[in-house]
Structures are given as structure tokens and as C-alpha cells.
């Protein structure tokens, strides 16, 4: 059985031709799935009964199912979704004025092991395929249409569970599907891919025809701190990361976003701010300061409001463009770094106990 949702338009046309159908039949099917959000062959009203019967024999439309929707007091909604093999992933819808941003997952769990992140505690179970990535968007659109018909999905961020660049081929296929004007038709300018810094894949992404905005989870002003909280830094340190970013072909008027999770007593001093400013000088960028969202599995605390203010003011004084990200959905564990497949009220997986500093993750 071939999963049609995971295919690009070209692949679907090839599939149609392999069935002995004209190429345009493939485009019809693709439009049903990606422009109209069809979840069954029965919804494809311009296909004949024989075509639908054949489709049911040889293909499926890979669908996620909604296991749970949790709504935060700030309006953020977290959807826990099940894949066909029973894996559980999460996506978050964040309303802000007229805008609605969706944060989507790219893997079941994650191998990168950032020390402050709840997803890391799951380890990596598997990659999501391209169909499972795009279906998160279609389910969110469906939910919005059913519950808030006046609200549109405006922005998409690959910042949920997983490291998108560690699932490179499916990431790029999903971007091609979502931005195709005959499909979901999202603008690449409104899509952001966030990475912990897989340097070779960053370089590869720069050569793709579809190029989303780039966010980099930096979180430290020097290698000593980053080695400690993001073991991937032992493989690709800050200077290698920044060299790749400086070479990244940014389009006009775009800049790189650096995410900086502020951890009390770890990376939030004025000296850290000064070192950060020096580090990023000359890079077209902005910095999102994210006060840490505590969860019981990591030994960190959120800095006081005064410490957050002082850090941001120092950054501004030193000429950096900074934005303070107010935690959204933290009462339902939907805020940044909290996604961990926790059903309503249930505890997270047991904490892995490790002796010594974390080793570099096994990612390429």
C-alpha cells in the first residue's frame, strides 16, 4: 500500500500513470488531499467508482487521529495525535491577535538531548514521514474551521517534538507539499524551521529551492555553557555553527532567529548578554529570549522577571534586536520545551539518571 499523503505532486502523478491513468488524475487526487483536506477516497467526488475502488486496493491516505485536545487559559491549544502505528506526537496552536501560529513535530521524541527539554527525555522513537508532518497542519485547519471559522492558520513553525534537520528528507518533502500553490499553498515566508544546529544539514538546506525562515536554538554565549546544556555542541561547536549561518543564503529582508532559553544562574547574567552580543555581531539576526518553562525532569529554574528584564535590557543596550517570548500554554505543558506526550494530568516518563556530562548525540 502506498501512502498518498506522503507524496509530492510529481510522485502522485507518477503513481497515477503507473495505474494506467492519465497524469491529470494524479493531480486531481493530490488536490483533494492537500488543497481540500480529503481524508477518504469517498470524498473525491470527481473520481469514478472504479477509480476509487482501485485506489482503495493499492493506496491509503495516511491519517493521524486526534487523541486529545487541551486548551490553555490563554487560548493555546495542544493536540495529542496518534499515528497509524500508535505513536503519540503533539502539535500546538497559538493564537495571537489575528495571527495563529502552529508548532508542529517532525519526529516521535528526539535524539538531540538538550538538557532543558522535556521531549529529549523520550529519546528518539522514529522519524515522522512527510504525510505525518503535513497532516498535523490539515488537522489544525480542520479544528479551526469547526471551532473558530473566522480564524486562519497564518504561521507555521517546525519547533515541536524532534529535530527537523535530523529528518531531513521528510522535512524537505513536507515543505514542498505545504508550499505548493496547487496544495496547501502556505508561503515559505510564513514557515520557520528551528534547529539545534546540525551544521551539514544546514548547509544542505541552503541549497534547496524551497527555503523557509531559519531559527537556531542557541541558548548559550559560549561553548562551555552550550556543551553542558546542548550536547550537540560537542559535535558542531558555536564557531562551526556560526560559520554555516554566515554562509547561509538568506533572502532579502530575512534574518536568522536565535532562540535563547533563559535558565536561572546558567546563561542569564549580564556578562552572558555581553558575550552573546559580541558573538552575534555582524549576523543579520534577532534574538528571541524565552524564559525557561520549568518541568520536573530538568534541574533548571526560570529567572526572576527582574533578571529577565535586566538580560534583555543589556542585550538591547549592546545593539541586539531582541524579543521577549511570553510562555504560552504552560498550564497544559504546551510551552516551548514542554512537549512530551503527556496525557491530561499524567506524569512524564521517568527521569533518566546519568553520571557525568552528556555525550554528543548520535546524529548526522
Question: Which residues contact ligand SF4 (rule: CB under 6 A)?
Answer: 110, 112-114, 117, 119-120, 161-163, 196, 217, 337
| One-character DSSP codes across 275-301 | HHHHHHTTS-EEEEEEE----TTSS--
Q: Which of 141, 112, 140, 129 is nearest to 172 (CA)?
A: 129
Residue 324, Cβ neighbours under 10 Å: how many? 14
d(CA 256, CA 248): 10
d(CA 117, CA 256): 22
Q: Which of 128, 140, 28 is nearest to 87 (CA)?
A: 128
Contact 118, 338 (CB under 8 A): yes
Q: Which of 64, 71, 73 is nearest to 104 (CA)?
A: 64
What the block records as the C-alpha cell of 281 is: 555581531
Q: Active site residue: 90, 163, 297, 314, which one?
A: 90
> Nearest approach, Cβ of 335 to ligand SF4 (angstroms)?
12
> Nearest approach, Cβ of 86 to ligand SF4 (angstroms)?
21
Q: Which is nearer to ligand SF4, 9 or 244 (CB)?
A: 244
Q: Which is nearer to ligand SF4, 16 or 117 (CB)?
A: 117
- Going by the DSSP 8-state scheme, the letter that residue 164 receives in this structure is G
Q: Which is nearer to ligand SF4, 117 or 133 (CB)?
A: 117
> Nearest approach, Cβ of 117 to ligand SF4 (angstroms)?
3
Find cell 538591547 and name the residue. 316
Q: Active site residue: 13, 63, 285, 336, which one?
A: 336
Q: Which is nearer to ligand SF4, 163 or 297 (CB)?
A: 163
Contact 300, 292 (CB under 8 A): yes
Quick check: is 90 catalytic? Answer: yes
> Nearest approach, Cβ of 125 to ligand SF4 (angstroms)?
12
Quick check: is 297 catalytic? Answer: no
Residues with catalytic function:
90, 336
Amino acid at each position: 500500500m502506498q501512502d498518498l499523503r506522503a507524496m509530492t505532486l510529481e510522485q502522485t502523478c507518477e503513481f497515477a500513470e503507473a495505474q494506467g491513468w492519465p497524469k491529470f488524475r494524479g493531480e486531481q487526487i493530490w488536490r483533494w488531499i492537500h488543497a481540500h483536506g480529503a481524508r477518504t477516497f469517498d470524498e473525491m467526488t470527481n473520481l469514478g467508482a472504479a477509480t476509487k475502488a482501485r485506489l482503495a486496493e493499492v493506496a491509503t491516505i495516511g491519517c493521524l487521529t486526534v487523541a486529545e485536545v487541551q486548551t490553555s487559559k490563554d487560548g493555546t491549544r495542544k493536540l495529542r495525535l496518534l499515528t497509524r502505528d500508535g505513536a503519540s506526537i503533539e502539535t500546538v496552536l497559538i493564537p495571537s491577535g489575528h495571527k495563529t501560529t502552529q508548532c508542529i513535530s517532525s519526529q516521535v521524541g528526539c535524539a538531540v538531548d538538550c538538557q532543558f527539554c522535556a521531549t529529549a527525555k523520550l529519546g528518539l522513537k522514529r522519524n515522522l514521514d512527510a504525510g505525518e508532518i503535513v497532516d498535523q497542519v490539515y488537522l489544525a485547519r480542520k479544528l479551526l474551521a469547526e471551532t473558530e471559522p473566522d480564524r486562519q492558520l497564518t504561521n507555521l513553525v517546525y519547533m515541536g517534538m524532534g529535530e527537523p534537520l535530523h529528518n531531513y528528507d521528510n522535512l524537505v518533502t513536507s515543505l514542498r507539499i505545504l508550499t505548493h500553490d496547487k496544495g496547501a499553498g502556505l508561503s515559505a515566508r510564513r514557515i520557520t524551521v528551528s534547529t539545534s544546529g546540525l551544521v551539514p544539514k544546514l548547509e544542505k538546506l541552503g541549497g534547496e529551492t524551497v527555503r523557509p525562515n531559519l531559527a537556531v536554538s542557541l541558548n548559550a554565549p559560549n561553548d562551555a555553557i552550550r556543551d553542558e546544556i546542548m550536547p550537540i555542541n560537542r559535535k558542531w561547536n558555536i564557531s562551526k555553527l556560526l560559520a554555516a549561518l554566515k554562509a547561509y543564503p538568506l533572502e532579502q529582508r530575512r534574518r536568522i532567529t536565535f532562540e535563547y532559553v533563559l535558565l536561572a544562574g546558567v546563561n542569564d547574567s549580564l556578562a552572558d548578554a555581553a558575550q552573546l552580543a559580541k558573538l552575534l555581531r555582524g549576523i543579520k539576526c534577532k534574538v528571541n529570549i524565552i524564559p525557561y518553562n520549568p518541568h520536573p525532569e530538568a534541574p533548571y529554574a526560570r529567572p526572576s522577571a527582574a533578571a529577565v528584564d535586566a538580560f534583555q535590557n543589556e542585550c538591547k543596550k549592546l545593539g541586539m534586536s531582541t524579543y521577549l517570548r511570553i510562555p504560552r500554554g504552560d498550564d497544559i505543558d504546551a510551552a516551548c520545551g514542554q512537549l512530551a506526550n503527556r496525557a491530561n494530568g499524567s506524569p512524564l516518563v521517568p527521569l533518566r539518571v546519568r553520571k557525568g556530562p552528556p555525550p554528543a548525540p548520535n546524529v548526522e
